Structure 1
Amino acid sequence: MALDKHPMWKAPQHHMDSDHQHDHVHWIELFYDLIHVVIIFLLGNYLSDHLNPIGFAIFTGVFIAIWFAWADSSVFNSLYVSTDIKHRFIMSSQIVTAMVMAASIPHIHDKGWMYFALAYSANRFITAYLYYRTDRLGIEETVLANKVSKNFAALTVIFAVSALIPAPYNYLLFALGIISIQLLYMLPKIGVLECSRFLPRLGHMSERFALLVLIVLGEGFFKLVITLSEKGIYKVSPDVLVNFIFGGISVFVLCWIYFDFVGNGKPKNTKKWTLVSWWLAHLLVMLAAVMIGVALSGEVKVGFWEPYPLKYATIGCIGLAVYLLSLLWIQKNIEYRVAHRFATAKIRFLGVFLAMITLVVVPFVPALIGNLLWGSALFSQIAIPVTKAYVTFQKEEASEP
Structure 2
Amino acid sequence: MALDNHPMWRAPQHHMDAEHAHDHVHWVELFYDLIHVVIIFLLGNYLSHHLTVEGFFIFAGLFTAVWFAWADSSVFNSLYVSTDFKHRLIMSSQIITAMVMAASIPHIHDKGWMFFALGYAANRAITAFLYHRTERLGVEESILSRKTSRNFALLALVFAISAFIPAPYSYMLFAAGIVTIQLQYMLPKVGLLELDRFLPRLGHMSERFALLMLIVVGEGFFKLVVTLSEKGIYKTNYEVLSNFMFGGISVFVLCWIYFDFAGNGKPKDTKKSTLVSWWLGHLVLMLCAIMVGVALAGEVKVGFWDPYPYKYAVIGCLGLAGYLMALLWIQYNIEHRVAHRFATAKIRMLGVALALITLFVVPHVPALVGNLLWGSALISQIAIPLTRAYLTLSKEEATSAEQEEAVQACVTLPQNDD
TM-score scaled by structure 2? 0.96
Deviations 1:297-336 (A, max 9, x none): 1000011001100000000000000000000000000000
C-alpha distance in structure 2 between counterparts of 1:8 and 1:371, whole Å: 53
Shift of the alpha carbon at 1:229?
A: 0.6
Q: Which has the larger radius of gyration?
A: 2
AA matched with 1:192: L
Query: What secondary structure is seen at the aligned counterpart in 1 of 2:30?
Result: helix
Query: What secondary structure is seen at the aligned counterpart in 1 of 2:189?
Result: coil
Query: What secondary structure is seen at the aligned counterpart in 2 of 1:228?
Result: helix
Deviations 1:155-192 (A, max 9, x none): 00100000000000000000000000001110001101
Aligned to 1:220: 220
Aligned to 1:169: 169
Is 1:35 paired with 2:21?
Answer: no
Shift of the alpha carbon at 1:356?
A: 0.1
C-alpha distance in structure 2 between counterparts of 1:206 and 1:272, whole Å: 16
Shift of the alpha carbon at 1:370?
A: 0.3
Query: What secondary structure is seen at the aligned counterpart in 2 of 1:17?
Result: coil
C-alpha distance in structure 1 between counterparts of 2:246 and 2:274, whole Å: 36
C-alpha distance in structure 2 between counterparts of 1:135 and 1:312, whole Å: 49
Shift of the alpha carbon at 1:133?
A: 0.4
Aligned to 2:334: 334
C-alpha distance in structure 2 between counterparts of 1:345 and 1:72, whole Å: 31
Aligned to 1:268: 268
1:78-227 equivalent positions in 2, closer than 5 A: 78-227=78-227
Deviations 1:14-68 (A, max 9, x none): 0000011100000000000010000000000000001111111110000000000
Aligned to 2:416: none
Aligned to 1:379: 379
Shift of the alpha carbon at 1:2?
A: 1.0
Shift of the alpha carbon at 1:237?
A: 1.2
C-alpha distance in structure 2 between counterparts of 1:260 and 1:18, whole Å: 32
Is 1:363 paired with 2:349?
Answer: no
Aligned to 2:320: 320
Shift of the alpha carbon at 1:111?
A: 1.2
Shift of the alpha carbon at 1:394?
A: 0.8
Is 1:52 paired with 2:45?
Answer: no
Query: What secondary structure is seen at the aligned counterpart in 2 of 1:251?
Result: helix
1:236-247 equivalent positions in 2, closer than 5 A: 236-247=236-247
AA matched with 1:194: E
Query: What secondary structure is seen at the aligned counterpart in 1 of 2:394?
Result: helix
C-alpha distance in structure 1 between counterparts of 2:23 and 2:324, whole Å: 27
C-alpha distance in structure 1 between counterparts of 2:396 and 2:16, whole Å: 42
AA matched with 1:11: A
Gaps of 5+ in 1: none
- Deviating beyond 2 angstroms after TM superposition, the runs of 4 or more aligned structure 1 residues are none
Query: What secondary structure is seen at the aligned counterpart in 2 of 1:16?
Result: coil
Query: What secondary structure is seen at the aligned counterpart in 1 of 2:22?
Result: coil
Query: What secondary structure is seen at the aligned counterpart in 1 of 2:159?
Result: helix
C-alpha distance in structure 1 between counterparts of 2:75 and 2:199, whole Å: 9
AA matched with 1:104: S
AA matched with 1:51: L
Shift of the alpha carbon at 1:345?
A: 0.1
C-alpha distance in structure 2 between counterparts of 1:82 and 1:107, whole Å: 35
C-alpha distance in structure 1 between counterparts of 2:288 and 2:363, whole Å: 22
Query: What secondary structure is seen at the aligned counterpart in 1 of 2:266?
Result: coil
C-alpha distance in structure 1 between counterparts of 2:136 and 2:109, whole Å: 39
Shift of the alpha carbon at 1:72?
A: 0.1
Aligned to 1:229: 229
Query: What secondary structure is seen at the aligned counterpart in 2 of 1:98?
Result: helix
Query: What secondary structure is seen at the aligned counterpart in 1 of 2:257?
Result: helix
C-alpha distance in structure 1 between counterparts of 2:235 and 2:306, whole Å: 18
AA matched with 1:338: V
AA matched with 1:204: H
Query: What secondary structure is seen at the aligned counterpart in 2 of 1:205?
Result: helix
Gaps of 5+ in 2: 405-418
1:60-75 equivalent positions in 2, closer than 5 A: 60-75=60-75
AA matched with 1:158: V
AA matched with 1:78: S
Shift of the alpha carbon at 1:109?
A: 1.4
C-alpha distance in structure 1 between counterparts of 2:251 and 2:279, whole Å: 23
Shift of the alpha carbon at 1:252?
A: 0.3
C-alpha distance in structure 2 between counterparts of 1:323 and 1:32, whole Å: 25
Identity of aligned residues (%): 77
C-alpha distance in structure 2 between counterparts of 1:302 and 1:383, whole Å: 27
Equivalent residues, number: 401
Shift of the alpha carbon at 1:376?
A: 0.3
AA matched with 2:313: A
